[in-house]
Structure 1
Amino acid sequence: MASAAPPSRHPVDAVPPLAQLGAFGLQHVLAMYAGAVAVPLIVGGAMNLPPADLAYLITADLLLCGIATLIQCVGFWRFGVRLPIMQGCTFAAVSPMVLIGTGGGGLPAIYGAVIVSGLAMILLAPVFGRLLRFFPPLVTGTVILIIGVSLLPVAGNWSAGGVGSDDFGAPGNLGLAGFVLLVVLAVQRFGPAFLSRIAVLAGIVAGMAVAVPLGFADFGGVGDASWLGVSTPFHFGAPTFEWAAVLSMLVVALVIMTETTGDMIAVGELTDRRVEPRALADGLRADGLSTVLGGVFNTFPYTAFAQNVGLVGMTRVRSRWVVATAGGILVLLGLLPKLGAVVASIPAPVLGGAGLVMFGTVAASGLRTLATVDFRGNHNLTVVAVSVAVGMLPVGVPEIYAEFPDWFQTVMDSGISAGCLTAIALNLLFNHLPGGKRELSGPASDSAGESTLAEPVVLPPQRAEKTVEEARIERG
């Protein structure tokens, strides 16, 4: 008797050859590097830290980015969603941390609040896991669309030379970004299968080949960087716990968990591995652990990096071990500052050209998910329209909430969290709460974002009999 064939391994768990692991992993690192170092630069710059302390924050951040990514992708016990998800410092925490740091508390007060928020995330993870039923395709597709569209201005700023650069918007910057974009598209269209999967990396390499002789790249920081750097616990002093700082960071923790939920569901859609409540709780618990480690090792709260979600969708490389390899590269960059300085020398326009493709891919993935939703005779179009509008407000008008309280700004200044919360609330209002006005012309379906708690649809007698018969067959 022939033995049964072994079950096929899901692409998420597949391990590509070593050479592909390195190339794919490096591509993920290059896609997120600028965003990864931005948070320590912004917070440290606002606090007027000396260059040596800024460099220390950056290397510590890269090290913890790598460790957090490994926890999320590889996982252990009940920590880690085990999907191809890169981790990085969240921008949602920037404003509260700047206020804490410049308000007299300094870095020790920031790290005390970060540690408490991380512990809170670990404790709240199971609660968020049970809320997964409120994320049907109507909500997830809207959130993925908002994630992609809200990231496009980041790619635009990179393409123009980077915010604050002296030559922002110069034709040369935009021309370099356009060249990288064309290379990425050409490799995807005409390159062999393997090369098309590293189209972003190929575009960045080609962009650097043009940028260096034209004087776009600055390698001055490479010579000044040390070869070895190790982040030690509480380098800036023992953490302090101030109630106002802790409360503000607890609000940030809720925002992080909301954003991470959207990112994990997006990656689950792209990799064809549905995120179940237990897996979501494990992923959020990993975020909390990484955030606690961040407070101990002199860095900040961690979350899933939306920048890399688009890369997964664009390259169709779904292996979590590829992203785990990227995490290992980040650990090396954190331990070897000179290597980090080499990566940091990549000009912003080169990253911008690649970012336009990646972030646009995220938005397109959201549209693909929304294509499965039924918009006929219901309020689903209103849910999408209002959610996208609210999510885009802080992106298009960054100062729109400047006169509101700090806690409100923390939640609503992120277009991702604002749009996600709006989509959840409107889906509950129109599709879950009983007694609401219904305009359904046919049976509700999960793919349309309708709730099983909605008022039943009265079927014609013939269809009702058929449904009863089908149910009898299913029961056997």
Structure 2
Amino acid sequence: MVFFFIRRRVQGGGEKKMRVFKALPTSMAAIQWVFFIFANTIVVPVSIGTAFDLSAQEVAMTLRSSLIFTGAACVLQGLWGHRYPLMEGHSGLMWGLLLNLSASASALGMDLQTIGGGVATGMMASAVFMIAAGLLGLSSVIKKVFTPMVMSVYLFLLSAQLIFIFFSGMLKLTPEGTLDVPVSLLSVGIVFLVTILKVKGKGAISNFSILIGIVVGWILHNCFFPGDAALSASSQSFSLFPLGAPNLEWGIVLTTFTAGVLNISNTIASIQAAGRLYCQEPSESRYSRSLTLTGFYTAAGSVLGLVPYAPFTSTIGFLESTRILERLPFLLGGALFSLLGLIPAVGSFFAAMPMTIGNAVLFVAYLQLFGTALQSIQGTIFNSNTIFRIALPVLAGISLMTVDPQIFSQLPVYMQPLFSNGLIMGVLLSMALELSIKWERYESPRRFEP
């Protein structure tokens, strides 16, 4: 109604009023982008800071760095990189890896600073690889390795890994190791609230269900559990490599480097999806420029203690729901998001967000990633032979996710972090299957029947 009212007021009102009319939808779309980037960013640095036992001041500082860096990354990608309105944010693969490694510290016999230092080294090594791949134009070669089936396996395993993490994170435990029922019930309630808003809501209610869940859950948590805030940062201290100084803990370095290389799949999948949305075939230069930028982001993130970056495939769903396909609102939204990080009070405020609430809303958000994985195999015919190309790597990867990392303690120390990571091993197994077997020889018109 507001739209039509403004249009009637503008008609016949002269060129100046017409410019105001055109600017208003753009500014509103830019603010909507700010909310979207916010909902997909804010929990990541807080959860990593908690997992690596950083001080409240360090968490607040890494959070501010994340706000500034994420907004700038979006703008640079939109202007020079792939040139699509695709959010550049913290990679789900790398986020899950860091949380997994921190949780496995005791099983690996390492302290968190040692693991963090190995992660920093591995991130810088993978950054060099990505920059080189981008500058040398190797995207066409990379796309041959990350086949559609490998991408499907990756999406299935990534959704499983993140859901495991969010589910355990939204359930609070008491010092005795038992379930804190009141806090956990609030998390479950927020899960239902966000799900209902997403499914039943229309327009902005559905689009911003994650943000609404964070706000409502945070308010209720502070009302019912006022002394249970996650963090409180009165000041902020800046330090390089807050997760740990770079080292040569080869197991962690190798695992992080491998994950960093696999993280390239996000760039390939996102640009391909954007090309389909805009009914165009992306040029190889778009892939190369995007890879180069993401490599620089990864290197800088290792210094600042941030999760490495990647284009978000989930942005396609946001574009399809809003139908705002122009780049200008996206660029303005990224710039506004960076400005938030320049305000010290913002970092202190968001560092105090209850982690159970953040995990609860993200549990719902990443259920849609499983839907994306299902869509990626639609139209593929499976029979009793070809079912192995997806069932073996997916189920083997999930099996590795559920076992105690301690069972790999007899392996060489540099192999333990890699073999205990179900996502990486599942994707590597899928790559081996796709490269070694000509699956089309075993295909038949009949679908697989158990």
TM above 0.5, yes or no, is yes
Retained in 2: the 8 A contact 1:111–1:300? no
Alignment of 1:54-203 (within 5 A): 55-71=60-76, 73-76=77-80, 83-87=86-90, 90=95, 92=97, 95=101, 114-125=123-134, 126-127=137-138, 129-161=140-172, 169-203=179-213
- SS of 1:424's partner is helix
Report the AA paired with residue 439 of structure 1. Y
- SS of 1:304's partner is strand
Whether 1:215 and 2:222 are equivalent positions in the alignment is no
Call closer, same or farther: CA 1:103–1:372 in 2, change over 3 Å. closer
Retained in 1: the 8 A contact 2:198–2:207? yes
Task: Select which of 379, 382, 387 maps to 1:381.
Answer: 387
Report the AA paired with residue 86 of structure 2. L
CA distance in 2, matches of 1:269, 1:129: 16
Call closer, same or farther: CA 1:25–1:103 in 2, change over 3 Å. closer
1:186 Cα deviation after fit: 2.8
1:118 Cα deviation after fit: 2.2
Call closer, same or farther: CA 1:276–1:256 in 2, change over 3 Å. farther
Whether 1:252 and 2:256 are equivalent positions in the alignment is yes
Whether 1:365 and 2:369 are equivalent positions in the alignment is no
Let me know the Cα RMSD of the aligned residues.
Answer: 4.5
Unaligned runs of 5+ in 2: 1-23
Whether 1:304 and 2:313 are equivalent positions in the alignment is no
1:332 Cα deviation after fit: 3.9
Call closer, same or farther: CA 1:363–1:220 in 2, change over 3 Å. closer
CA distance in 2, matches of 1:17, 1:255: 38
Report the AA paired with residue 84 of structure 1. M
1:160 Cα deviation after fit: 0.5
Call closer, same or farther: CA 1:340–1:170 in 2, change over 3 Å. same
Call closer, same or farther: CA 1:142–1:260 in 2, change over 3 Å. same
**C-alpha deviations, 1:357-407, integer Å up to 9, x for none?**
222110121112112211147x33101111112221342124154443344
**C-alpha deviations, 1:41-73, integer Å up to 9, x for none?**
544x3xxx76655654554455434444444x4
Task: Provide the residue aligned with 2:43 in structure 1.
Answer: 34
Call closer, same or farther: CA 1:279–1:374 in 2, change over 3 Å. farther
CA distance in 2, matches of 1:390, 1:153: 16
1:156 Cα deviation after fit: 0.5
Report the AA paired with residue 424 of structure 1. M
Retained in 2: the 8 A contact 1:68–1:87? no
Task: Select which of 296, 306, 329 maps to 1:289.
Answer: 296
Report the AA paired with residue 119 of structure 1. V
Retained in 2: the 8 A contact 1:142–1:387? yes
Call closer, same or farther: CA 1:288–1:241 in 2, change over 3 Å. same
Report the AA paired with residue 302 of structure 1. P
1:289 Cα deviation after fit: 0.7
**C-alpha deviations, 1:117-168, integer Å up to 9, x for none?**
422321134435413134343332222122112211122023213x787787
Retained in 1: the 8 A contact 2:67–2:341? yes
CA distance in 2, matches of 1:413, 1:358: 26
Call closer, same or farther: CA 1:223–1:370 in 2, change over 3 Å. closer
CA distance in 2, matches of 1:430, 1:144: 21
Call closer, same or farther: CA 1:192–1:109 in 2, change over 3 Å. closer
Whether 1:25 and 2:34 are equivalent positions in the alignment is yes
CA distance in 2, matches of 1:158, 1:104: 21
CA distance in 1, matches of 2:209, 2:275: 19
CA distance in 1, matches of 2:433, 2:331: 36
Retained in 2: the 8 A contact 1:309–1:362? no
CA distance in 2, matches of 1:284, 1:144: 20
Retained in 2: the 8 A contact 1:87–1:302? yes
1:93 Cα deviation after fit: 5.9
- SS of 1:131's partner is helix
1:193 Cα deviation after fit: 1.7
Unaligned runs of 5+ in 1: 1-14, 449-476
CA distance in 2, matches of 1:21, 1:65: 15
Report the AA paired with residue 348 of structure 1. M
1:235 Cα deviation after fit: 8.6
1:290 Cα deviation after fit: 1.0
- SS of 1:148's partner is helix
Give the TM-score normalised by structure 2.
0.72
CA distance in 2, matches of 1:267, 1:107: 31
Retained in 2: the 8 A contact 1:138–1:380? no
CA distance in 1, matches of 2:147, 2:115: 42
**C-alpha deviations, 1:386-441, integer Å up to 9, x for none?**
11122213421241544433443444444332222221211222227xxxx94333
Report the AA paired with residue 259 of structure 2. V
Call closer, same or farther: CA 1:133–1:140 in 2, change over 3 Å. same
- SS of 2:437's partner is helix
Task: Provide the residue aligned with 2:20 in structure 1.
Answer: none
Call closer, same or farther: CA 1:201–1:59 in 2, change over 3 Å. closer
Task: Select which of 371, 392, 403 maps to 1:397.
Answer: 403
1:176 Cα deviation after fit: 1.6
CA distance in 2, matches of 1:22, 1:63: 16
- SS of 2:442's partner is coil
**C-alpha deviations, 1:230-259, integer Å up to 9, x for none?**
x68x699xx9987x4689646633321213
Call closer, same or farther: CA 1:256–1:240 in 2, change over 3 Å. closer
- SS of 1:201's partner is helix
Task: Provide the residue aligned with 1:350 in structure 2.
Answer: 357
Number of residue pairs the alignment of both structures matches? 408
1:442 Cα deviation after fit: 5.7
Report the AA paired with residue 39 of structure 2. L
